[in-house]
Amino acid sequence: MTQRNHHEREFEAFLAGEESELARLYRRLPQAEPDAKLDAAVLNLARTAVEPQRVNALRHANQRHRRPWWLVGLSSAAGLVLAAGIAWQMQGMQQGPAEALRAPASTAQAERDVIPITAITTPEPLPAVALPPAEAAVASANLAASPPATPPPAASMPAPPPPSPPAAAARSRASTAPLRRSVEVVKADELSKGETAEFEAAAAVTAAKPMPVDQALDARLLEAQAQSADKRELAKAKDAASPQQPEPFADREVRDYNSVERKAALASGSRRDEYGLNAGDDGKVQPAAAKPAARAPRPAAESAAAGAGSMNRSAALQRNAKLAPADWVIAIRSLLRDNQREEALENLDLFKRKHPQFALPQDLRDLR
Amino acid sequence: MREECTDEELMLAYGRGDAHAFEALYTRHRGTLYRFLLRHCRERASADELFQETWSRVIVARERYRPEAKFTTWLLQIAHNLAIDLLRRHRPHAGAEETELVFRQLDAPEAERPDRVLSEFEQRRRLQLALEDLPDEQRTAFVLRMENGLGLEEIAEVTGAGQETVKSRLRYAFAKIRARFAE
């Protein structure tokens, strides 16, 4: 029993790993180990087994870092688009500064090319010339004949020129198209602006240099006659075209027409001749008296046949007034022969005022 | 660095392709595994074959290894199964005399040859003969306990037997060996 208990204790010590005689004797048994060849075979087998795995791992690692082909292509395309966009933007930005740099140069070039023009101030109306009482009465009577609603053209706007051919054509159409006529009148006004400015400059010079009393009288007289003749023609056209047209519109038409006609007449050379002014080739304004050859008399019949316009009539009247009394009488008779009785009467009236001492033939004295 | 890692960590590292981890693991267990196999199959050629086959099984199963299983237990279990298969193929076992000759010629150092140290040799010879006389299950359990230091649970896990069975096998093995020394 004691020996059995002793063996049981030794077995428990054996199971517990306690040091015992049997354990010491077992450790003294030969400690066999695999030889080097076996070690090499096992280790080589282990390395060989994991080599593909290592290669695959490296390949996977490389593939993980390698970008997909489509990503590379997409990146390249995006880069190209970005580069193109930047280039386009840069081109636009370069054109902007280039234009900005060219702009001052072109502006400077333009400044060198353009002749500086100073604004021309509106010239003062022609100075009132002191008229003799008789002449003033005639002028005031002619002015009073105009509609009261129509302001004095010389006071409100530049002097109206004589009717130019376009203006005359517009006037001929006035009876059928008042609105169109207004438009054409505006166009004629715009066309004659340049000439009007030239005339206004000449008028300014004239205002600075007083005309002789005789020439001033003639100018005033002719202007008044032209106005009265124009207004009469306008009244006729208006009555023939639209008798039912409201009066204010007709007045406006007449006013516009007068102003345009006067502008055109003044801008033309003939009316400048009437005012005793003319522009030389050098641009300087010269008195008409300085060039008598330019105002050589023309036959009255030729003048009467030139046209029925008041400008021509006024010009003809002006020319006839320069004639000798005997020649003027002949011209009046020619007008009568040509059935231009109205013009003949105008010439006769002016003749009587200019040459009151001249003994007219009986037929002309009786002419009314 | 490698010395601080556990067997399981090294095995997992080798499962990921780290050959150096396997080298460290092999260095730790090469001797104990080889002796276990040599004790089990009693001849060196078979031990070499089983040794290489055991490590081959470990290498092949490297990616399936899970750290829940202790590496030593897993390794000895593979070796035990292979040894069982080998013993089944090679029965009847070699005789005690042949086994004694093998131990005497191969394993004992020259200075510790039995003829040099008679008492020591006699003791180891008796132990060796006692192990040879044990049944395979008792011998395996005894070797796993003495050579590899496994406890009842681990021996039961390696051998696939219950702990009480293992304890009984150990008890019988211990008693037979004591009886041999008492002769």
The per-residue pLDDT for range A133-186, each reduced to its tens digit, is 445 444 444 544 444 444 444 444 444 444 444 444 444 444 444 444 444 444
Burial state string for A349-366 with b = 16 or more CB within 10 A and e = fewer than 16: ebbeeeeeeeebeeebee
pLDDT at residue A226 greater than cutoff 90? no
A 10 A CB-CB count for B64 gives 7
The pLDDT score that the predictor gives to residue A56 is 78
For the cut 50, the answer to whether the pLDDT of residue B126 exceeds it is yes
Number of H helices, E strands in chain A: 17, 2
CA end-to-end distance (rounded Å), chain A: 192
Write the ipTM. 0.77
Residues of A in contact with B123 (CB under 8 A): 25, 28
Helix or strand or coil: residue A278?
strand
Q: Classify residue B103 by its DSSP letter.
A: I
Give yes or no: residues A184 and A269 share one domain.
yes
Q: Please report the pLDDT score of residue A233 as a whole number.
A: 62
| pLDDT tier for residue A125 given thresholds of 50, 70 and 90 | low
Nearest to A261 by CA among A172, A160, A155: A160
Question: What residue spans of A242-340 are helical by DSSP H?
Answer: 247-267, 269-274, 300-306, 310-322, 325-337
Residue A78's pLDDT band (cuts 50, 70, 90): very high
Predicted pLDDT of residue A221: 58
Q: What does the pLDDT read at residue A18?
A: 76
In a domain, A131, yes or no: no
Q: Where in the sequence is the domain holding B67, given as residue range(s)?
A: 1-93
Confidence check: pLDDT of B4 > 50: yes
Domain for residue B86, yes or no? yes
User: Does pLDDT of A89 surpass 80?
Assistant: yes
* Lookup: tokens for A4: 């059995």
User: With contacts defined as CB-CB under 8 Å, which chain A residues touch B18?
Assistant: 50
Cβ atoms of residues A172 and A241 within 8 Å: no
The answer to whether B22 and B59 have CB atoms below 8 angstroms apart is: yes
**Do the chains contact at A25 and B127, CB–CB below 8 Å?**
yes
Tokens encoding A361? 């033939």
Residue A164 lies in a domain: yes
Among A154-163, A231-240, B44-53, B151-160, name the one with the lowest average pLDDT: A154-163
Report the C-alpha gap between A304 and A310 in whole angstroms: 11
- For chain A, the domain total comes to 2
Min Cα–Cα distance to chain B from A41, Å: 8
A358 Rama sector, left if φ>0, alpha if ψ -120 to 50, beta otherwise: beta
At A285, the pLDDT band (50, 70, 90 cuts) reads: very low
Q: Is residue B152 part of a domain?
A: no
pLDDT tier at B164 (50, 70, 90 boundaries)?
very high
Residue A32: predicted pLDDT: 83
In a domain, B122, yes or no: no
Chain B residues with beta carbon closer than 8 angstroms to that of A10: 174, 178
Cβ(A354)–Cβ(A321) under 8 Å?
yes
pLDDT tens per residue across span B83-119: 888 877 766 555 555 555 555 544 555 555 555 555 7
**Which pLDDT does position A317 carry in this prediction?**
85
Residue numbers in B near A9 (CB within 8 A):
none
Q: How far is A65 from chain B (nearest CA, A)?
A: 19
Rounded to an integer, what distance in angstroms lies between the CA atom of residue B12 and that of residue B3?
15
The last residue of a domain, from among A295, A318, A346: A295
Q: Is the pLDDT of residue A43 over 90?
A: yes
CA of A20, closest CA in chain B: separation in Å? 11
User: Is A135 within the bounds of a domain?
Assistant: no
State whether A363 and A284 are in the same domain. Answer: no
- Whether residue B18 and residue A43 make contact (CB cut-off 8 A), yes or no, is no
Which range has highest mean pLDDT (A9-23, A205-219, A340-354)?
A: A340-354
Omega cis (within 30) before B92:
yes
DSSP E strand stretches across B65-161 = none
Residue A20 inside a domain? The answer is no
Q: Among A94-103, A206-215, B27-36, which range has the highest average pLDDT?
A: B27-36
CA B117, B118, B124, B127: dihedral to nearest 10 degrees?
-170
- Average pLDDT estimate for A36-64: 84
What pLDDT is recorded for position B162? Answer: 92
Looking at the domain assignment, is residue B17 inside a domain?
Answer: yes
* Residue B162 main-chain phi, psi, to 5 deg: -75, 160
Nearest to A26 by CA among B100, B147, B31: B147
Residue B151, φ and ψ in degrees, nearest 5 = -90, -175
Contact in structure between A305 and A338 (CB atoms under 8 Å): yes
Task: For residues A143 and A26, give the distance between their C-alpha atoms in angstroms, rounded to a whole number.
Answer: 160
> What is the model's pLDDT at position B30?
93
Which amino acid, B37?
L
Q: How far apart are CA B130 and CA A220, in angstroms?
A: 167
**Average per-residue pLDDT in chain A?**
63
Structural domain contains residue A352: yes
Domain-terminating residue out of A245, A264, A295: A295
Taken in order A331, A333, A337, A343, the sign of the CA dihedral is positive
Residue A136 lies in a domain: no
State the pLDDT at residue B136: 86
Residue B146 distance to chain A (closest CA, Å): 7
A40: in domain: no
Do A301 and A218 touch, CB atoms closer than 8 A?
Answer: no
Q: Which two tokens mark A70?
A: 């489509």
- Pair A359, A264 in one domain: no
Q: A136-140, A289-293, A318-322: which has the highest mean pLDDT?
A: A318-322
Domains held by chain B: number: 1
On chain A, the residues whose CB falls within 8 A of the CB of B14 are 46, 50
Question: If you count residue pairs, one on A and one on B, with CB atoms under 8 Å apart, how many are there?
Answer: 109
pLDDT at A227: 64
Given A10, A34, A49, which is nearest B34 (Cβ)? A34
In CATH, what number is assigned to the domain containing residue B68? 1.10.1740.10
Residue at B84 is within a domain? yes
Q: Which of B80, B172, B132 is nearest to B164 (CA)?
A: B172
User: How do residues A253-281 score in pLDDT, each as one tens digit?
Assistant: 444 444 444 444 444 444 444 444 444 44
* Mutant choice from B20, B25, B26 vs A, greatest count of A C-beta within 10 A: B26
Contacts of residue B22 in chain A, CB cutoff 8 Å? 43, 46-47, 50
Phi, psi of A278 (to 5 degrees): -160, 150
CB atoms under 10 Å from CB of A272, counted, come to 23
| Predicted local confidence at residue A273, as pLDDT | 45
What is chain B's Cα-based Rg? 17
**% helix, strand, coil for chain A, step of 5:** 70, 0, 25
Domain of A331 in residue numbering reads as 297-368
CB-closest option in B19, B103, B128 to A50: B19
